[in-house]
Amino acid sequence: MLDIKLIREQPEAVERALAQKGGAELIKQILEVDGERRRLIKETEDLKALRNRASEAIGLAKRKGEDASAEMAKMREVADRVKALDGELKTVDERADELLVQVPNIPHPSVPPGKSDADNVEVRKWGAPRRLDFTPKPHEDVGEALGLLDPERGVKLAKSRFTVMWAGAARLARALAQFMLDLHTREHGYTEIWIPNLVSGATMLRAGQLPKFEEGLFKTIDADEGRTLYLIPTAEVSLSALHSGETLSEASLPLRYTAFSPCYRREAGTYGKDMKGIYRQHQFEKVELVKLATPAQSYDELESMVANAETVLQRLNLPYRVVERCIGDLGFSGAKGYDIEVWRPHMEKYTEISSCSNYDAFGGRRADIRYRPAGGGRPEFVATLNGSGLAVGRTLIAVLENYQQADGTVMVPEALRPYAGGLERLTAHR
């Protein structure tokens, strides 16, 4: 959510900043509704002030035993008027909010222009794609041939986009998660947090998932209470809403949190896309990174967050590149962001495995998280950042594809072996 004051005071600047991202056309409407809102506030509050003074006088008069019925009758009318105005104001407030939450974040000046991911800018590359002396297969072929990935059983148990993982694949997934958490907590200074995977609508709202993205979420009904809880599509939801409503001290920032969680996504509107393998599933696991920082710190924190995610791939010796997202690919809340893309041998190209974003104060304002500046003064909104560090399923894909051998087996990356009980090679299951 943008600051209404910024829109009010510099509407042209905001419109210009949003020209490429969209939402500029909302600004004029917002100004109109905001003006109406302020007129109503003035009117109601003046009336309330009148009422408060009169009520005090009435109380005083009554205590003296004087008759105040004339004044009371007058105030009855004022009270009715106040009630009517309060109703109007509520409507206008809702309208103003409704418009304001539709305005996307303003991109940081350093963000490259562009319309789609095709315009993203490569920042750096790491690792050389290894040369294989055979034709590399996609992970689903590698995994299914070994009996480790089992889409048929996933569909039988649930529906499409669910895949059962057997033996070595299941073990490797668990090892990956453990490895990533240890790395981030021991070497990168993140605090590991266990969070609810089912959250209320209010939490989804604060995390920016509702009302816009409801069609992407799985809902559950608590039968006894008839209440809706949502399955989280990412631990970011719980982590970024963790401190909502709180005022933190500047000294405590930046806060660096990590959480391992399952993620549930309906993937509505992606029919037919990525149907093979486990690239796009309804349920997957992810180690998430979230930071709360001052806006001034946040751009450095974004760089270090990307570096933290990159370290995972470096330790696994998986070639990747980092691209900076252009304005059109930033997403609704992003002020600046990077994607990390991992090498896919059979495709001979890089595909996304992590996405790190700085939402700046836009995220803090929506989640209602402030900090009190060290030098004193009014609380300010924190900047929120998030990134995947990394998605377990997609990392497993990268391992299966990059470590596949001519005989169909898959070597286990050295860094993972201690976490996989010394397992060195994935071989056929049964």
Partner RNA sequence: GGAGAGGUGGCCGAGUCGGCCGAAGGCAGCCGCCUGCUAAGCGGUUAUACGGUCAAAAGCCGUAUCCAGGGUUCGAAUCCCUGCCUCUCCGCCA
Active site residues: 265, 280, 352, 355, 394
Minimum CB distance to RNA smaller for 59 or for 113: 59
- Considering only 16, 28, 83, 425, the residue that binds RNA (CB under 7 A) is 83
Q: How far apart, in whole angstroms, are the C-alpha atoms of residue 38 and residue 46? A: 12
Q: How far apart, in whole angstroms, are the C-alpha atoms of residue 370 and residue 249? A: 9
Minimum CB distance to RNA smaller for 34 or for 324: 34
- Considering only 10, 52, 249, 405, the residue that binds RNA (CB under 7 A) is 52
Which positions ≥6 away from 255 have C-beta within 8 Å? Answer: 191, 243, 248, 291, 292, 293
Plot region of 368 (φ>0 → left; ψ -120 to 50 → alpha; else → beta) = left
For RNA, the binding residues in 103-142 under the rule CB under 7 A are none
Among 39-47, 173-181, 341-349, 390-398, which window interacts with RNA (CB under 7 A)?
39-47
Q: Is 49 in the site for RNA (CB under 7 A)?
A: yes
Among 12-20, 59-67, 301-309, 391-399, which window interacts with RNA (CB under 7 A)?
59-67
Binding mask 219-238 for RNA (x = CB under 7 A): -----xx-x-----------
- The nearest distance, CB 46 to RNA, in angstroms, is 6
Q: Is 31 in the site for RNA (CB under 7 A)?
A: no
Q: Is 72 in the site for RNA (CB under 7 A)?
A: yes
DSSP 16-46: HHTTTTS-TTHHHHHHHHHHHHHHHHHHHHH
| Strand bridging mode 370-372 / 247-249 | parallel
- Considering only 42, 124, 130, 276, the residue that binds RNA (CB under 7 A) is 42
Minimum CB distance to RNA smaller for 46 or for 303: 46
Name the E strands within 109-167. 121-126, 149-150, 164-165
Q: Is 16 in the site for RNA (CB under 7 A)?
A: no
Q: Is 10 in the site for RNA (CB under 7 A)?
A: no
- Considering only 6, 10, 29, 59, the residue that binds RNA (CB under 7 A) is 59
Single-letter amino acid code for the residue at 430 = R
For residue 345, whether the previous peptide bond is cis, meaning omega lies within 30 degrees of 0, is no
Q: Is 55 in the site for RNA (CB under 7 A)?
A: yes
Among 73-81, 254-262, 263-271, 405-413, which window interacts with RNA (CB under 7 A)?
73-81
Alpha carbon 261 to its chain centroid, in Å, reads: 14
**245-248 long-range CB contacts below 8 Å, 24 or more apart?**
245/368, 245/369, 246/369, 246/370, 247/370, 247/371, 247/372, 247/379, 248/292, 248/369, 248/370, 248/371, 248/372, 248/382
Q: Is 46 in the site for RNA (CB under 7 A)?
A: yes
Minimum CB distance to RNA smaller for 41 or for 181: 41
- The alpha-helical segments, DSSP class H, found in 136-200 are 139-145, 151-157, 167-186
Q: Is 41 in the site for RNA (CB under 7 A)?
A: yes
Q: How far apart, in whole angstroms, are the C-alpha atoms of residue 327 and residue 115? A: 7
Minimum CB distance to RNA smaller for 46 or for 122: 46
Q: Identify whether the C-beta of residue 330 lies closer than 8 Å to the C-beta of residue 336.
A: yes
DSSP class of residue 298?
H
Best CA proximity match to 399, nearest among 278, 296, 283: 278
Among 37-45, 136-144, 213-221, 319-327, which window interacts with RNA (CB under 7 A)?
37-45
Minimum CB distance to RNA smaller for 24 or for 78: 78
Q: How far apart, in whole angstroms, are the C-alpha atoms of residue 148 and residue 310? A: 27
- Considering only 28, 38, 212, 425, the residue that binds RNA (CB under 7 A) is 38
- The nearest distance, CB 210 to RNA, in angstroms, is 17
Minimum CB distance to RNA smaller for 49 or for 157: 49
For RNA, the binding residues in 171-210 under the rule CB under 7 A are none
For residue 390, whether the previous peptide bond is cis, meaning omega lies within 30 degrees of 0, is yes
Applying CB under 7 A, the site for RNA has a residue count of 32
Q: Is 76 in the site for RNA (CB under 7 A)?
A: yes
Q: How far apart, in whole angstroms, are the C-alpha atoms of residue 160 and residue 169? A: 19
Q: Identify whether the C-beta of residue 231 lies closer than 8 Å to the C-beta of residue 200.
A: no
Q: How far apart, in whole angstroms, are the C-alpha atoms of residue 345 and residue 351? A: 11
For RNA, the binding residues in 325-384 under the rule CB under 7 A are 370, 378-379
Among 46-54, 121-129, 232-240, 401-409, which window interacts with RNA (CB under 7 A)?
46-54
Residues near RNA (CB under 7 A) are: 4, 38, 41-42, 44-46, 48-49, 51-56, 58-59, 62-63, 72, 75-76, 78-79, 83, 90, 224-225, 227, 370, 378-379
